[in-house]
Structure 1
Amino acid sequence: MPADCVLWFDPRCSASRRVLELLRARGVEPELRRFLEEPPTVAELGALLALLGAPPHALARADADEYQALRLSERTPAEELLRALSQHPRILDRPIVISGGRALVARPPERIGELFPPDSRGG
């Protein structure tokens, strides 16, 4: 059975660690998807974009060195950008939270409230 919540997680990323902390404070123990160790496929990225309701460029960190080195831009065709994101996952904006058929890029981390509102459990 799939997890109720999946967090695309980079342990070196302070925002990823903060999202994990906020989720746990809400009683949510997410499945951690270590996307740098297991890069997403183009198909997974396509499914994620469908959940986000966003174009591929919404997932890319334009300020990342690899993004610049690969000469990516807002004009890069969607399929080419998805291939680049799959092959170079450091370019992915993060952290990404998926739950209940919805997804969001949790920047700032407090955006997780859109999927998991604080409740009376002290979260």
Structure 2
Amino acid sequence: MITIYHNPRCSKSRQTLQLLESKTNDFEVIKYLEDIPSEKELSEIIKKLGITPIELVRKNEAIWKEKIKGKELSDKELISAMITHPKLIERPIVIKEKKAIIGRPPEKVLSLF
């Protein structure tokens, strides 16, 4: 089973979803701005991505620039900030079993197949 953390307003996320639809119909779409992952879920996603929390943050978002940029935050605090402000989570994230990929560019997710 494949899971995509999707934002319908994001063109890269929509393109990634189209790629998934062309490969399989066995996937789940999670609109993470509405169905916000828990701290545990987001931590597991980061682990599957093989990155640090700061690498998952969208640093061009206004929320980041206005409220967080320049502060020294621990990994746990960064995860908490992403849960409080899910727009900060880089997208789309596609997960298949124990591996996850950020679909930027969307073609990166093809390595899961």
Q: Which moved more, 1:69-78 or 1:54-63?
A: 69-78
RMSD: 1.4
Q: 1:56 maps to which residue?
A: 53
Residue 27 in 1 paired to residue 24 in 2?
yes
State the alpha-carbon separation in 1 of the partners of residues 81 and 20 from structure 2: 29
Q: 2:95 maps to which residue?
A: 98
Identical counterparts, % of pairs = 33
The 1:40–1:73 alpha-carbon spacing in structure 2 relative to 1, beyond 3 Å, is farther
Alignment length (residue pairs): 113
CA drift of 1:24 comes to 1.1
Gaps of 5+ in 1: 117-123
The 1:79–1:73 alpha-carbon spacing in structure 2 relative to 1, beyond 3 Å, is farther
State the alpha-carbon separation in 2 of the partners of residues 16 and 70 from structure 1: 25
- Cα pair 1:5 1:28 within 8 Å, conserved: no
Q: TM-score, normalised by structure 1?
A: 0.86
Q: TM-score, normalised by structure 2?
A: 0.93
Match of 1:70, SS state, is helix
More helix by share: 2
Question: Runs of 4 or more off by more than 6 Å in structure 1?
Answer: none
Q: Which moved more, 1:22-31 or 1:40-49?
A: 22-31
The 1:74–1:14 alpha-carbon spacing in structure 2 relative to 1, beyond 3 Å, is farther
State the alpha-carbon separation in 1 of the partners of residues 111 and 71 from structure 2: 27
CA drift of 1:73 comes to 4.8
Gaps of 5+ in 2: none
State the alpha-carbon separation in 2 of the partners of residues 14 and 79 from structure 1: 29
Residue 70 in 1 paired to residue 84 in 2?
no
State the alpha-carbon separation in 1 of the partners of residues 40 and 71 from structure 2: 21
Residue 82 in 1 paired to residue 93 in 2?
no
Q: 1:11 maps to which residue?
A: 8
State the alpha-carbon separation in 2 of the partners of residues 83 and 72 from structure 1: 15
